[in-house]
Amino acid sequence: ASRELQFHSFSITREAPTTDKIPTAGFCFNIDSRNRSGTRSRRSHASTQRSRHTVLMSLPANSSMYLGDTTALHKGHTYTTKRVATLCKAAKAWTNNTMRSKTASVDAIRATRLITAIKTPYLPNGKVDLASYDGLVERQIEGGVGGIVVGGTTGEGQLMSWDEHIMLIAHTAKLYGDELKIVGNTGSNSTREAVHATSQGFAVGMDASLQINPYYGKTSSAGILQHFQAVMDFGPAIVYNVPARTSQDISPDIMQLLAKHENFAGVKECEGNDRIRAYTDDGIVCWTGNDDEAHAARYEAGAVGVISVTSNVVPGLMNDLMSNGPNPELRDRLLPLMKWLFAQPNPIGLNTMLAMLGCIEPVFRLPYVPYDSDLRAEGAALIQALGLEHTPGQAICDIDDDQFKILKDW
């Protein structure tokens, strides 16, 4: 868990003019014009300009850097080289024990039954509405939810810049990290982006990452395996299998190999309860990604719980459904709302509902647009039947079509 940086001890005597080739960018260390014993060379000041230099550079782990010609380094010194080697032994994200102690363990992630894929609300200018966001998160805590996914598909991470995305993870971890497991959706179809975002996410306080297999620009089975292994090195990870969005299934053979990684927390599986049952029989932790199958997944297929969209609207009821034993009656009460939320691709229904409940501004980033008036009326009736008190709203608002703001730029 600790990070150790070692530089080979060396000193240089700069003679003017110098042609030392030292790249700049990254962190800094000092090069002193002393030999290894710490004493100065006896060469006169007139013939040799001795000075202490600060060098900025970026060094990857287990790499070396070219400093220049041997003749520029060895005269009058006991240590001579053309290259300076660095040795970096580190758990990539956890730079010290304190940081590691503040990150949830894999076992703690696996024990979280209800994780909400939280909505990201917007201001009329299109920026993230942090005040409304905080209100939504706090209602999740009140409802007994154990964790949230920040910037998932439901939270429209695909419409965020990485600056927005990492900012929202940091904001959430800072305010609510003691009360919720913070799962950052830092996956990408680009391994490079996924690695970068995941390292940043853990650095700013998330407890686990949600990782998708490469979509659109699909890869081979071997490529999928290496993609996930690259990001799982940073900390606890939930692998997300949703072929309806990626058009590529993560096969059980691949999942079995991924499950051997020490940071594999489990899988958010959207391929049905038969798949989940097979995984849980083999000891692989699963959350279903399908709200309408959550009850059977939890109590019949062995899933630990659900990563849910519906819990944005009725967090307490979804917590009851996952935590308090089989309840077919409650399941049947919630199924019409679940069906309504997915009448069009997620997160359109959720965005519409939370605007109707007055929890967020009626602002949509394209390509999402709200439900039409007929569907909105149907949704209002469903909330009245379930009970407004179970939602984060104070009233059901009748929003006209022209009151929705649709943004093509933000």
Specify the long-range contacts of residues 323-327, CB closer than 8 Å, at least 24 apart. 323/113, 323/114, 323/144, 325/299, 326/295, 326/299, 327/295
Positions annotated as catalytic residues are 240, 268
